[in-house]
A and B are shown apart, each in its own frame.
Chain A
């Protein structure tokens, strides 16, 4: 009968149709390489800024931002930077690749800034400084270098707490993270006895990370006599010192004072690793300007280390970005620009210090009976308020004051215009 044939042809077409769908879907399914990739957690600090942006409260304050703001709450490009840019533009330079280790003039000036122009280390040429992608890039190069060449130990000791990004930097480079006591929540200050105790127990040859000045996130720095004792214990334990100096000049307003610990350790014979950033002290944030230094036994060793740094860097990014390094180099080596810079960096540091003082004054005016001394004692961009997560929550929800959950505020986000509101809000959640 005809209808059977029709049925068969219909069924066979239908069957082929299903087969075609199946193969399409199967191919589609096969063409996903990343099915197993999980959604990663958002960055804790950026999350703060995102929530801040969504808030419609006119009195809102973003105290999460780790970038300097002027007294009008605006980003600040230093005038010495603008001048340096104009100078560079007028030279009509080309855009040829920098060497793998970066701009030679920059590296020299960068090392001199940290170590001081009369440093014995620089005179004997027993260190190597390479230009890096700001502080993070510098730390990562250092971490990779340690991972490859510091085979006697895998452990890196960070202060407790430390900058959040230190952990993944060293971990992704293949090192193991450990900690030594640093911050004392009872005093909102330096846990000196705890630090000495922990450091004295660190296994020999481990790497110890020290924040050169303006500890991030606490703002708590050791005093010079405390640095001296730390240096002695660290030397006794034969630890490899890795300094992170992201705020030279920005902490006290004085570049030599902020570099004191680094220079002292070198005098004491520590052959340190050093990361420098010009993000904050020159406001060059997005230009990504930094340096990584290895202090060696002699010039010959420095050459060997340099060759290996280049071999390490080449398959990461080949050579570093030129623009920021040209700006920084111009500022550091042009006398008028350098003195302008020193003034401007002091200006930024002074404004931060003033905001700290105003915050405490206003808190007292509000009638707060808590001891807020630590706000003034702490140094640099950040302040560990001592606020608890629930209080931070209230500040965000009730007052639109945004900070990270650990109670860290960026003093840079405080202005004479909003310090009163901040004091009022903090008093409300702590009285």
Chain B
């Protein structure tokens, strides 16, 4: 706003103009003053102005909310069964001894901290894909796949989601099992995909709704993406049996769907890394050129180090090279290159025979403790006098168990017994110990009898 100087104001006020002009001049004067005031207010406005006034408080993470409430609880018998991290039989976090040994080896080498390549540590990526596919896999021999290091399982899924969003133009739809890990939805949605679902869990049996799954899958439009949990389904713990996997593989091939495997628990589910990878390997044998996300958070206890891999199985080496180049272009503007520490540890373990053997023993121990807790849980429930069928607790596999408890019962468990779990009745069996399994059984019997 152009300001009028006092001198020109005077000039105008002294002249004998027609009334309309002097009215306009007065208006001009007022506007000039207003302009001064405006610029002064503007100055203050900058201090008062905020860029983020419209930003709403977001809802707290449902799982972290459980842990936060648990921390506030003063009951000495409290149990945190929300945590998706393994605990030993004293309820303490467990760092594997093969990990400690690998760390010592790495420290002794006094390695530098230079950037990894965009696709990560090559020895890690190679060992990672060999672990999943098996070292004699035709895919690896022919070089027709590409595996890159990622920021654990989440990072792997997101890179995959972004890749699919950018290059899988045939379809925008990603089909998740119902239910699936909570974070799958925002991962694919934020990457620009549309979420859909296929039947998976049967609340009546607390088991696999095989018929429902086949029925839904048979209706999925061709070339859609279908997410499959390779083993230890999260959150239900319900896995298809091998014959069921075979039927699904055939149907999925018939429907011409793009398979995206999420394998976050290899070794952790049954205690046997090859058995847990069976579905992935079978699908590849059946000719599915899959996408695969792997995580070493649980099976190597490397949670906060963020170690994972993303694999694309391609038609041939040439296609794998093209895909690799595009993955790098995608990753560079997200985080440039992945963190080195965890990948070095995992690579050392996978590539050093004694450490690898030790790892297999330790991962089996973790899986066995979980299985033992499931069994003790059920036997304690029977001892309490529960007449319900708790078969599903021992049939389900992996870290989580879908108890079948209803939200009101979960509420009571939290309020009356200080036992914390997510509202869907999911417990982390990893949080159960021989010392507290009796209390847990007692509490669950109390709210279900």
A interface with B by C-beta (< 8 Å): 27-28, 30-40, 42-43, 46, 67, 75, 77, 81, 85, 89, 92, 94-100, 133-134, 136-137, 140, 149-151, 165, 168-169, 171-172, 235, 238, 240, 269, 271, 279, 283-288, 294, 296-297, 301, 303-305, 307-308, 310-312, 314-324
A77 adjacent to B112 (CB under 8 Å): yes
Q: Which one of A169, A171, A296, A317 has the highest number of Cβ atoms from chain B below 10 Å of its Cβ?
A: A317
A35 adjacent to B52 (CB under 8 Å): no
B256 adjacent to A30 (CB under 8 Å): yes
Q: Does B237 contact A (CB under 8 A)?
A: no
Q: A31-B289, A149-B55, A172-B333 are in contact. Are A75 and B187 (CB under 8 A)?
A: no
Q: A315-B183, A317-B306 are in contact. Are A36 and B334 (CB under 8 A)?
A: no
CA distance A183 to B36 in the complex (A): 36
Distance in Å from the Cβ of A49 to the closest Cβ of chain B? 10
Q: Which of B53, B55, B117, B339 contacts A308 (CB 8 A)?
A: B55
B52 adjacent to A287 (CB under 8 Å): no
A321 adjacent to B305 (CB under 8 Å): yes
Distance in Å from the Cβ of A209 to the closest Cβ of chain B? 14
CB-CB under 8 A from B251, the residues of chain A are: none
Interface size class on chain B is 35 or more
Q: Interface digits, B276-313 against A, CB 8 Å rule (1 contact, 0 not)?
A: 00000000000111000000010001111110000010
CB-CB under 8 A from A30, the residues of chain B are: 256
Among residues of A, the one whose C-beta sits closest to the C-beta of B314 is: A34
Q: Interface digits, B152-171 against A, CB 8 Å rule (1 contact, 0 not)?
A: 10110010000000011100
Distance in Å from the Cβ of A127 to the closest Cβ of chain B? 11
Q: Interface digits, B165-201 against A, CB 8 Å rule (1 contact, 0 not)?
A: 0011100000000000001001101100000000000
Q: Interface digits, B321-348 against A, CB 8 Å rule (1 contact, 0 not)?
A: 1110110111011111111111000000
B303 adjacent to A36 (CB under 8 Å): no
If A100-B61, A301-B52 are given as contacts, then 17 extra A-B residue pairs at C-beta distance below 8 Å, sorted by A number, are A39-B325, A40-B326, A46-B118, A77-B110, A95-B303, A96-B85, A96-B303, A133-B336, A279-B115, A287-B113, A288-B335, A297-B52, A304-B57, A307-B57, A315-B154, A315-B183, A321-B339
CB-CB under 8 A from B337, the residues of chain A are: 286, 288
CA distance A28 to B169 in the complex (A): 19
Q: Does B138 contact A (CB under 8 A)?
A: no
Q: Interface digits, B46-58 against A, CB 8 Å rule (1 contact, 0 not)?
A: 1111111111111
Distance in Å from the Cβ of B290 to the closest Cβ of chain A? 10
Distance in Å from the Cβ of B175 to the closest Cβ of chain A? 16
A35 adjacent to B303 (CB under 8 Å): no
Distance in Å from the Cβ of A244 to the closest Cβ of chain B? 14
B interface with A by C-beta (< 8 Å): 46-61, 64, 85, 93, 95, 99, 103, 107, 110, 112-118, 151-152, 154-155, 158, 167-169, 183, 186-187, 189-190, 256, 258, 287-289, 297, 301-306, 312, 314-315, 319, 321-323, 325-326, 328-330, 332-342
Q: A37-B326, A39-B321, A133-B151 are in contact. Are A94 and B55 (CB under 8 A)?
A: no
Q: A40-B328, A75-B114 are in contact. Are A305 and B55 (CB under 8 A)?
A: yes
B333 adjacent to A33 (CB under 8 Å): no
CB-CB under 8 A from B329, the residues of chain A are: 40, 168
CA distance A165 to B332 in the complex (A): 8
A34 adjacent to B158 (CB under 8 Å): no
Q: A97-B85, A287-B340, A310-B58 are in contact. Are A136 and B335 (CB under 8 A)?
A: yes
Q: Which of A32, A36, A301, A317 contacts B154 (CB 8 A)?
A: A317
Distance in Å from the Cβ of B418 to the closest Cβ of chain A? 21
CA distance A252 to B339 in the complex (A): 28
Q: List 25 A-B contacts (CB under 8 A).
A: A30-B256, A31-B287, A32-B289, A37-B319, A37-B326, A38-B326, A42-B325, A77-B110, A96-B303, A96-B304, A97-B297, A137-B336, A172-B330, A287-B113, A287-B341, A288-B338, A303-B57, A305-B52, A307-B59, A308-B58, A310-B61, A317-B152, A319-B304, A323-B305, A323-B341
Q: A36-B169, A97-B303 are in contact. Are A317 and B155 (CB under 8 A)?
A: yes
Among residues of B, the one whose C-beta sits closest to the C-beta of A284 is: B113
Among residues of A, the one whose C-beta sits closest to the C-beta of B157 is: A315
CB-CB under 8 A from A40, the residues of chain B are: 322, 325-326, 328-329
